[in-house]
Chain A
Amino acid sequence: MEWVNAVIQGILLGGLYALFACGLSLMFGVMRIINLAHGDLGLLAAFMLASLSDAAGLSPFVGLLVVLPGAAAVGWALQRGVLMPSLRAGELAPLIATFGLSIVISNMLLEIYSSNSRSLDSGALETATLKLNDQISIGGLGLLIFGVAVALLVGLQLMLSRTSFGRAMRAAANDADTAGLVGINANAVYAWAAAIAVSTAALAGAFFAMRSSFDPSSGPVQLIFAFEAVIIGGLGSLWGTLVGGIVLGVAQTVGAQADPAYSILVGHVVFLVMLAFRQGGIFAVEARA
């Protein structure tokens, strides 16, 4: 029964990884940029929420009303101010620039908040549980995170496939020059895609911070988990991202059930094994996000 419980907790944890992963996947799908600061941007949002909570007593859910638009603005500015100009130096320059940004954010947080680990209080959700039987109970927060992740992935998928903005995004992703010929401003589309991606990172960061304790150095690990979820699930498929997140989450919780020290390592091993034997991920598809 412990193992069943580990699998269930892993599935819920996978929702969080999928949430982190969808922004990473979106930016890669549309701009072909891997944002190495993705995890740190999420963590930045978590610290902002903690500060709002300390200073004004705001619940993190209320704080998100401020932090999410802020994150969108940061994403927009990042694309316009850093990633787009750096592209002139070659297609790998944005990668280096976002790596630099990751170092800047994590060390800024370290200077401002010190290396102490802290947590974000999610209020009543913290203790709410859904009891399945004597041994298995599902936390209200975990369920909420999973629900939000599914809703967000459905929303993104619908936006990409049904709306004119989604169409413009797919067009700009496939061929920016040709998209320009039919009146799509690819640079504007890219800036919006970055805004959406960083907002989802902020949302994921907020949930991560409510779920477990965090410190300024937690960002890169979240980035790595998100990346593993994307690759395990298969690039370009948002559903694959959800499945990839779940596979990673289950691998970690089941690994932890065997020995707590193995939790993260088992996740890495599953990722490397997937890379070795199923290159395109579980949902290998041709189309981009």
Chain B
Amino acid sequence: MSAGAALAGQVTIQRWDRLSRLFTGVVLLLLVGLTLLPMAYGPATTDKLTTLFVLIILAVMWNALAGFGGLVSVGQQAFIGIGAYATIALSEQGINAYVAVVLAALVAGLIALPTSFLVFRLSGGQFAIGMWVVAEALRLVVGQFESLGGGTGKSLTTLNVYEPAVRQANTYWLALALMAILLTLVLVLLRSRLGSALQAIRDDEVGAASLGVRVTSAKRLLFLLAAVGCGAAGALLVAQTLRVQPDSIFGVEWTAYMIFMVLLGGLGTFEGPIIGALLFFGIQEQFADEGSWYLIGLALVAIAMTIVAPRGVWGTVVDRFAVRLVPIGYRLGGLPEPLPRRDPGGERGS
């Protein structure tokens, strides 16, 4: 019997390990805790956490596009804006504003479908800037509608029927629920056969296509999911702030925030963008009052990260300690010693 076959007898393919099982338990406990939180803490806390949930959704969606689909977009604010405006438009039709938030996210996905057929004609950097054109065009179109408040924006008045404290708690729960659902969706997608296909596309698009991966439809599905996620984020933002203004909701700053969170946390990992969002949330609390210097600092950190540490905080941790909290790929178990993971290209779900 050859050495290889002897080894093969002991080796098992694992998806889960002790750490990721433990972590899943912790996440479930955390979810229960966060659900009960408004009973103990007031609007000041829930409002901040709502912001955090929105940031996490945005970071995870941008990372799903860029880190797993290889689609760098600087125009995801298009769908944030659609989500926000669709919430207002739908709630004015008599639909409950919270239901409108959920529907608005789906509207963003609906609009993303025809959009994908346009922008998918562009690739790489052209796709990125093509999405920016889409966002700009939408900003101008929305500004033309007097019924949506034109250039000055519009308020979401239908939520005023709730007491402020009740309203803020409701928005918090909705944000928590949407975040949990969307993150689970992304996770399920990445763990599926399609997830492997997507990561193959990201690593080598031509190679993946030659192995029979349906590159375009896989990317389109991801694009739609990211649009729904960004739409949900925009809808939650308007439910939280009760006001929307085209220049800010369609602003390219959103892309700057998304890129910063994802690069800081770790592009192409599931955990990275969440960590990036937590870090960004902390930074925002500290420095957001600094105005343009704050943005300059964020951008400089992002540039430095691409050059010095392109794998981000979490990617660096994974490289060094070979830990994974959320099991997406597979690993070999039963080996005498753990194989060192030296994998500069990203976490591959091989």
Contact = CB atoms under 8 A, between A and B. Distances in A.
B193 interface: no
A61 interface: no
Interface residues of B, number: 41
Contacts of B140: 264-265, 268
Given A93-B306, A96-B263, A33 B125 contact: yes
Contacts of B119: 275
Given A32-B124, A36-B128, A93-B310, A272 B303 contact: no
Contacts of A90: 310
B342 interface: no
A86 B307 contact: yes
B262 to A, nearest CB: 9
B57 interface: no
B292 A107 contact: yes
Interface centre among A101, A220, A275 (most CB of B within 10 A): A275
B293 interface: yes
Contacts of B130: 227, 231, 275
Interface residues of A, number: 43
A108 B296 contact: yes
Contacts of B263: 96
B306 A103 contact: no
A91 B302 CA distance: 16
Nearest to A221: B136
Nearest to B309: A89
B149 to A, nearest CB: 15
A220 B133 contact: no
Interface centre among B72, B300, B306 (most CB of A within 10 A): B306
B129 interface: yes
B252 to A, nearest CB: 6
B125 A107 contact: no
Interface in A180-202: none
B118 interface: yes
A97 B74 contact: no
Contact of A89 (B133, B143, B310): B310
Nearest to B294: A107
A85 B307 CA distance: 6
Interface string B275-308: 0000000000000000011011011101100110
Nearest to B301: A100
B121 A275 contact: yes
B296 A96 contact: no
B125 A34 contact: yes
B310 A111 contact: no
B241 interface: no
Contact of B129 (A36, A96, A107, A268): A36
Contact of B125 (A88, A95, A111, A265): A95
Nearest to A225: B133
A92 interface: yes
B123 to A, nearest CB: 10
Q: Would you list the 7 A-B pairs with minimal beta carbon distance, nearest first?
A: A34-B125, A89-B310, A107-B292, A103-B299, A268-B137, A100-B299, A100-B303
Given A32-B125, A101-B299, 18 more contacts: A32-B124, A34-B124, A34-B128, A86-B306, A92-B70, A92-B72, A92-B124, A93-B310, A95-B128, A99-B256, A100-B299, A103-B298, A111-B293, A227-B126, A227-B130, A268-B133, A268-B136, A275-B119
17 contacts: A86-B303, A86-B307, A90-B310, A92-B66, A95-B124, A95-B125, A95-B128, A96-B259, A97-B307, A99-B299, A107-B293, A227-B133, A228-B133, A261-B143, A268-B140, A271-B133, A275-B121
